Amino acid sequence: MKERTKLLLLVAVLAAAYFLPIEHVRVQRAFLEGLFLAKSYARHHVLLCLVPAFFIAGAIGEFVSQGAVLKYLGATAKRSIAYGVASVSGAILAVCSCTVLPLFAGIYKRGAGLGPAIAFLYSGPAINVLAIILTARVLGLKLGIARAVGAVTFAVVIGIIMAELFRKEETERLANGPDPFAVGATEAGRAVWKDTLFMAVMIGILVFANWGAPNAEVGLFALIWRIHWPLTAGLLVVLGLMIFKWYEKQELTGWVQATWVFAKQILPLLFAGVLAAGWIMGRPGLNAGLIPSSWVASTVGGNSLWANLFAAVSGAFMYFATLTEVPILQTLIGAGMGQGPALTLLLAGPALSLPNMLVINRYLGPKKTITYVSLVVVMATITGMAYGAMFG
């Protein structure tokens, strides 16, 4: 870091301390709200939800054969398959968010082309496994599912529209060389079903450990709730057996390392996001953040076109670090944001940001970038309004 930057930072911190309006009760309370929210996350979401989720993400990164997925995105792949794979493979291929752009460039220049590349570009961040899990956990199953379904659908639709609009423009294919998408035919080893089962067991543990008490005393949900801890324990035993019998030490070390890399990268940012969300909006329902709930309710409350559009546009430009959209949305909803605008924000926020748009612009040029961003904003708004009308 340059010395001048350090000086500027020091001055900024001093200025903040000098002008801190800490005499106001509301400001005092807002600071506490950040801490309250952080405690709530630490107690309710970290151990039972985030930790298993990180292990699942780590397993996806380490064990799923990328080659098996990549071959469907190559230049010779069938179009419809390429779209389908591009819109969901973000969950498998883009577990590290920085790899979305190189893969996008690869699909565009050497693979299946603009349409599937755009589908992947959008769905990569949107269908992030960790984000879907945390969304379902904190914001509710309905929003979690809506987010996942919306992300996949959008990805395909936006990809197809872009491919149609810009069909006449030829993509300059880069140098001819070995087809990079044909990699992975060499990956042998464990049968796919074993890896799939391994991950299914982990997902099962995640689901059963988090099984909430149902409203009714009878029925399947209630039955499962009564035995959900024994079920979790049983699955843990099964997991242990799989670990011992199916995996070599080196693979397990790789898995744990991958999990740790995610945790290291994501948890500090999530923590910062939780604090910020608590300070700015306060815990749900208490109107104790810096921003009064009435402001939130009047801008993005209800399900009007304006509310959804506002959410879509601000989401598109705002930068959300991985997972931080969850506490931010949680506190916004708690301060009066409608369900419709909430889904809109989930669909437009994580996938786009101003810095992200500038990078995309370097590849696609202003015309395509503006089209892409507009498509995302419009579709997010429409989907959010529809969801809000049905489930709001």
Partner 1 sequence: MLEIKVAGSGCTSCNVLEARVKKVLEELRIEAMLMKVSDFNEMARLGILVTPGLIINGEVVSQGKLPSESTLKDWLERSESR
Q: Contact positions toward partner 1, by CB under 8 A?
A: 61-62, 66, 70, 93, 96-99, 101-111, 174-175, 177-178, 180-181, 183, 250, 253-254, 257-258, 261, 264-265, 363
What are the φ/ψ torsions at residue 72 (nearest 5 degrees)? -85, -5
What is the rounded distance in angstroms from the CA atom of residue 330 to the CA atom of residue 138?
Answer: 7
* Nearer CB in complex with partner 1: 205/270: 270
CB distance 95 to 89 below 8 Å: no
Minimum gap (Å) between residue 374 Cβ and partner 1:
23
What is the rounded distance in angstroms from the CA atom of residue 276 to the CA atom of residue 323?
Answer: 13
- Ranges of beta strands (E only) in 58-173 are none
* Nearer CB in complex with partner 1: 107/270: 107
What is the rounded distance in angstroms from the CA atom of residue 1 to the CA atom of residue 175?
Answer: 38
* Count of Cβ atoms closer than 10 Å to residue 8 Cβ: 11
Which residue's structure tokens are 């009007």? 304
The DSSP secondary-structure symbol of 289 reads S
Minimum gap (Å) between residue 342 Cβ and partner 1:
29
Minimum gap (Å) between residue 265 Cβ and partner 1:
6
Minimum gap (Å) between residue 11 Cβ and partner 1:
28
* Angle, alpha carbons 209-215-220 (nearest 5°): 65
* Nearer CB in complex with partner 1: 62/195: 62
Minimum gap (Å) between residue 96 Cβ and partner 1:
6
* Nearer CB in complex with partner 1: 26/173: 173
Ordered DSSP codes for 40-82: HHIIIIIIIIIHHHHHHHHHHHHHS-HHHHHGGGBTTS-HHHH
* Nearer CB in complex with partner 1: 106/289: 106
Minimum gap (Å) between residue 327 Cβ and partner 1:
22
* Nearer CB in complex with partner 1: 181/198: 181
> Which residue from 343, 352, 368 is spatially nearest to 316, judged by alpha carbons?
352
CB distance 222 to 216 below 8 Å: yes
* Nearer CB in complex with partner 1: 180/234: 180
What is the rounded distance in angstroms from the CA atom of residue 158 to the CA atom of residue 116?
Answer: 9
CB distance 331 to 286 below 8 Å: no
The residue count of the chain comes to 392
Minimum gap (Å) between residue 354 Cβ and partner 1:
18
> Which residue from 78, 144, 143 is spatially nearest to 113, judged by alpha carbons?
78
* Nearer CB in complex with partner 1: 255/279: 255
What is the rounded distance in angstroms from the CA atom of residue 128 to the CA atom of residue 266?
Answer: 12
* Nearer CB in complex with partner 1: 61/350: 61
* Count of Cβ atoms closer than 10 Å to residue 226 Cβ: 12
Minimum gap (Å) between residue 125 Cβ and partner 1:
13
What is the rounded distance in angstroms from the CA atom of residue 368 to the CA atom of residue 363?
Answer: 9
Minimum gap (Å) between residue 183 Cβ and partner 1:
7
